[in-house]
């Protein structure tokens, strides 16, 4: 049976060797199931880029085979790319109620709500897609309603964990389906795909419940207003903030668009329980006694335009942090955000606030949503897979996850550490990784999808470091002599008023360069421009050790 018709193929279009833009594919024969379609934020080297999504050309080329997009949970790195996918392909989306609710907010913003086909599933669903049958199991994570996905194929069973931890004392009864997982493992798992975010972290991730206790204690101690910032999508934590506010007799104000959006969806769908009259508008803050109000806001990652950052700069229209108010940072900075978060803390102290900040285990105001090493071993032990593909992590995390798998009995040669696009093919229970499909990044800048390439980014980098110098010269068409100019316009290079001499020297150099070329009877524009560029660039580097972009503009009249 070793032919393409009966091959089980597994690969990733995003999410491996990176944190973000998760997108995995399980294909059996002519049936393709896509799992998740996330986005990620660019690092600082991608100047001006707003968002990155997976290159989906493989899916476009095979669109007649795609049966469904199954979404494990509602985080941006799993749903952020969906609007862009739907603009290219029409495929049905399967997800739990809350996950779909959050996807719908996104589709609405892109004007895609009417056209899309959406199916609500839960952990008891069983769906047939061609020769594959899908079933699910509940996991828990820092957002409710998360699923692991089980693919029953003629070749064997494939399990995709989604994002998970094992919180055995969860908030809102979101227990993980441990018995179901054990049963799946007992029946035999051919391939396990398991997330690797915390594969470097020893031990067992703490329960969300301890955060609730600490929030309640801080609310009780606070003598004036309490501001608390966390991820809007962490509905469990939002519930615990609501509960703490109830217990300490405070009204609750929501600040920040994504906080209002998520709370609205979660409340409508019954994932959040907030008593009537508890939520009040920001305009009410000053009418209430200071010890009767709590403010739940976005910006826990230090995002400069989010509520907490603006509050810390006293730059928020409808609310103000005053001396002796309490501010709780119920989050840990994601790598890369440490400085922004630290500067907010600086500003909050300057305002005289009591600030509860620091890493999760110090303050008890945050726990991770991802499985640590002992939980990853637990998942591997429950599933007892023959083959293991660590996913959802950078290389060192995948590497550590492999060590964990081997430590609980997976054969080392049966662990596939792959890149996005590397395909693991399985025939007759034997896996091989030899072929690749196209995978990559699509950069989104403003309304442009994928129109910013390497040349544009390289130009932005040069412009950002040393600016540019435009040199305008008018030449007579007949004799090739200079009629006017050179005129230099500098942007981002030096402030011209301070550099008149430098600019005069540049102008003289341009004249000399043109004249010497005229004498040699060379007046093709490209040669002229290139010679000016080189001469000016060399001169400026010697004088300033900077390399601005030189843009000669030659007008012939």
Catalytic positions are: 195, 370
Establish how many alpha carbons lie within 13 A of residue 195's alpha carbon, considering only the half-sphere containing its beta carbon.
29
Q: Does 47 bind a second copy (CB under 8 A)?
A: yes
Q: Which is nearer to a second copy, 315 or 454 (CB)?
A: 454
Q: Which is nearer to a second copy, 440 or 467 (CB)?
A: 467
Please state the closest distance from residue 401 (CB atom) to a second copy, in A. 12
For 121-216, list the strands marked E by DSSP.
Answer: 126-129, 132-139, 146-153, 156-160, 189-195
DSSP 392-404: SB-HHHHHHHHHH
Please state the closest distance from residue 257 (CB atom) to a second copy, in A. 17
Which residues within the stretch 80-139 sit at the binding site for a second copy (CB under 8 A)?
none
Q: Does 517 bind a second copy (CB under 8 A)?
A: no
Between CA 315 and CA 466 the distance in angstroms is: 32
Single out the residue of 42, 156, 440, 467 in contact with a second copy (rule: CB under 8 A): 467
Residue 445 assigned to a binding site:
yes
Between CA 520 and CA 92 the distance in angstroms is: 68
Which residues within the stretch 374-413 sit at the binding site for a second copy (CB under 8 A)?
394-396, 399
**Interacting stretch for a second copy, rule CB under 8 A, among 99-107, 138-146, 241-249, 445-453?**
445-453
Single out the residue of 51, 425, 445, 503 in contact with a second copy (rule: CB under 8 A): 445
**Interacting stretch for a second copy, rule CB under 8 A, among 22-30, 40-48, 105-113, 156-164?**
40-48
205: helix, coil or strand? coil
Q: Does 461 bind a second copy (CB under 8 A)?
A: yes
Residue 354 assigned to a binding site:
no
Q: Does 543 bind a second copy (CB under 8 A)?
A: yes
- Cα angle for residues 25, 29, 35 (degrees, 5° grid): 15
Q: Does 368 bind a second copy (CB under 8 A)?
A: no
Q: Does 493 bind a second copy (CB under 8 A)?
A: yes
**Where does 294-444 have alpha helices with state H?**
307-312, 338-350, 360-363, 373-383, 395-407
Number of residues that bind a second copy (CB under 8 A): 65
Q: Which residue from 43, 50, 47 is spatially nearest to 456, judged by alpha carbons?
A: 47
Helix/strand/coil percent split, the chain, to 5: 35, 25, 35
Residue 343 assigned to a binding site:
no
Please state the closest distance from residue 549 (CB atom) to a second copy, in A. 6
Structure tokens at 109: 């913003």
* Start-to-end Cα distance in the chain: 75
Per the CB < 8 A criterion, the answer to whether 41 and 23 are in contact is no
Which residues within the stretch 48-67 sit at the binding site for a second copy (CB under 8 A)?
48
> How buried is residue 288: exposed, middle or buried, by Cβ count under 10 Å (0-12/13-18/19+)?
middle
DSSP state of 324: T
Structure tokens at 218: 């801080």
Q: Does 465 bind a second copy (CB under 8 A)?
A: yes
Q: Which is nearer to a second copy, 92 or 448 (CB)?
A: 448
Beta bridge partners of 159: 150, 192
**Interacting stretch for a second copy, rule CB under 8 A, among 203-211, 374-382, 384-392, 439-447?**
439-447
Residue 367 assigned to a binding site:
yes
Which x/- pattern over 281-320 shows residues binding a second copy (rule: CB under 8 A)?
----------------------------------------
Alpha-carbon distances of 454 from 42, 442, 451, 543, rounded to whole Å: 14, 12, 10, 29
Between CA 288 and CA 159 the distance in angstroms is: 52
Between CA 404 and CA 248 the distance in angstroms is: 44
Q: Does 555 bind a second copy (CB under 8 A)?
A: yes
Q: Does 147 bind a second copy (CB under 8 A)?
A: no
**Interacting stretch for a second copy, rule CB under 8 A, among 43-51, 146-154, 255-263, 287-295?**
43-51
**Interacting stretch for a second copy, rule CB under 8 A, among 93-101, 247-255, 338-346, 514-522?**
338-346
Single out the residue of 349, 374, 377, 533 in contact with a second copy (rule: CB under 8 A): 349
Between CA 102 and CA 83 the distance in angstroms is: 12
DSSP state of 333: P
Residue 77 assigned to a binding site:
yes
Residue 50 assigned to a binding site:
yes
Please state the closest distance from residue 45 (CB atom) to a second copy, in A. 10
Maximal C-alpha separation, the chain: 89
1: helix, coil or strand? coil
Enumerate binding residues for a second copy (CB under 8 A). 17, 43-44, 47-48, 200, 335-336, 338-339, 342-343, 345-347, 349-350, 355, 357-358, 394-396, 399, 445-448, 451-453, 455-457, 459-461, 463-468, 470, 472, 474, 483-484, 489, 491-495, 498-499, 543-546, 549, 551, 553, 555, 557
Residue ranges for the known binding site for Zn(2+) are 73, 75, 77-78, 141, 163, 392
Residue ranges for the known binding site for substrate are 232-234, 366-370
């Amino acid at each position: 049976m070793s032919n393409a018709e009966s091959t089980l193929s597994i690969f990733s279009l995003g999410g491996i060797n990176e944190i973000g833009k998760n997108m995995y594919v399980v294909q059996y024969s002519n049936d393709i199931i896509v799992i998740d379609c996330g986005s990620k934020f660019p690092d600082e080297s991608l100047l001006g880029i707003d968002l990155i999504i997976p290159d989906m050309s493989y899916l476009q080329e095979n669109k007649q085979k795609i049966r469904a997009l199954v979404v494990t949970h509602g985080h941006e790195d799993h749903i952020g790319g969906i609007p862009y996918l739907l603009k290219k392909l029409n495929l049905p989306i399967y997800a739990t109620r809350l996950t779909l609710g959050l996807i719908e907010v996104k589709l609405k913003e892109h004007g895609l709500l009417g056209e899309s086909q959406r199916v609500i599933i839960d952990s008891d669903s069983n769906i047939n897609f061609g020769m594959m049958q899908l079933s699910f199991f509940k996991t828990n994570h820092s957002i409710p309603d998360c699923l692991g996905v089980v693919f029953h194929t003629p070749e064997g069973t494939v399990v995709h964990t989604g994002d998970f931890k094992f919180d055995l004392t969860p908030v809102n009864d979101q227990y993980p389906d441990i018995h179901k997982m054990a049963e799946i493992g007992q029946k035999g798992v051919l391939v396990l795909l398991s997330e690797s975010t915390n594969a470097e972290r020893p031990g067992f991730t703490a329960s969300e419940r301890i955060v609730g206790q600490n929030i309640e204690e801080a609310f009780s101690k606070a003598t004036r207003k309490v501001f608390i910032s966390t991820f809007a999508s962490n509905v469990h934590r939002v519930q615990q903030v609501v509960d703490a506010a109830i217990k300490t007799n405070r009204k609750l104000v929501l600040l920040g668009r994504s906080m209002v959006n998520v709370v609205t969806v979660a409340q409508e769908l019954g994932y959040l329980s907030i008593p009537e009259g508890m939520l009040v508008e920001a305009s009410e803050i000053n009418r209430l006694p200071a010890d009767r109000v709590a403010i739940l806001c976005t910006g826990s990652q230090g995002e400069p335009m989010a509520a907490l950052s603006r509050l810390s700069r006293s730059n928020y229209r409808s609310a103000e942090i005053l001396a002796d108010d309490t501010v709780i940072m119920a989050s840990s900075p994601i790598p890369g955000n440490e400085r922004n978060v630290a500067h907010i803390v600086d500003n909050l102290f300057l305002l005289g606030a009591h600030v509860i900040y620091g890493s999760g285990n110090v303050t008890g105001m945050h726990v991770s949503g991802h499985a640590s090493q002992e939980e990853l071993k637990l998942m591997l032990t429950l599933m007892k897979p023959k083959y293991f593909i660590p996913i959802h992590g950078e290389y060192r995390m995948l590497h550590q996850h492999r060590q964990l798998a081997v430590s609980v009995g997976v054969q080392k040669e049966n662990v596939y550490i792959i890149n996005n696009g590397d395909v693991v093919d399985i025939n007759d229970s034997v896996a091989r990784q030899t072929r690749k499909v196209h995978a990559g990044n699509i950069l989104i800048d403003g309304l442009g999808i994928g129109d910013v390439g390497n040349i544009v980014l390289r130009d932005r980098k040069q412009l950002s470091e040393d600016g540019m110098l435009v040199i305008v010269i008018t030449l007579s068409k007949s004799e090739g002599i200079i009629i006017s100019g050179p005129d230099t316009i500098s942007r981002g290079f030096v402030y011209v008023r301070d550099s008149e001499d430098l600019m005069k020297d540049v102008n003289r150099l341009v004249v000399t360069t043109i004249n010497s070329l005229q004498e040699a009877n060379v007046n093709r524009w490209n040669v002229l421009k290139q010679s000016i560029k080189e001469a000016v660039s060399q001169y400026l580097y010697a004088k300033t050790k900077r390399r601005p972009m030189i843009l000669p503009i030659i007008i012939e009249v």
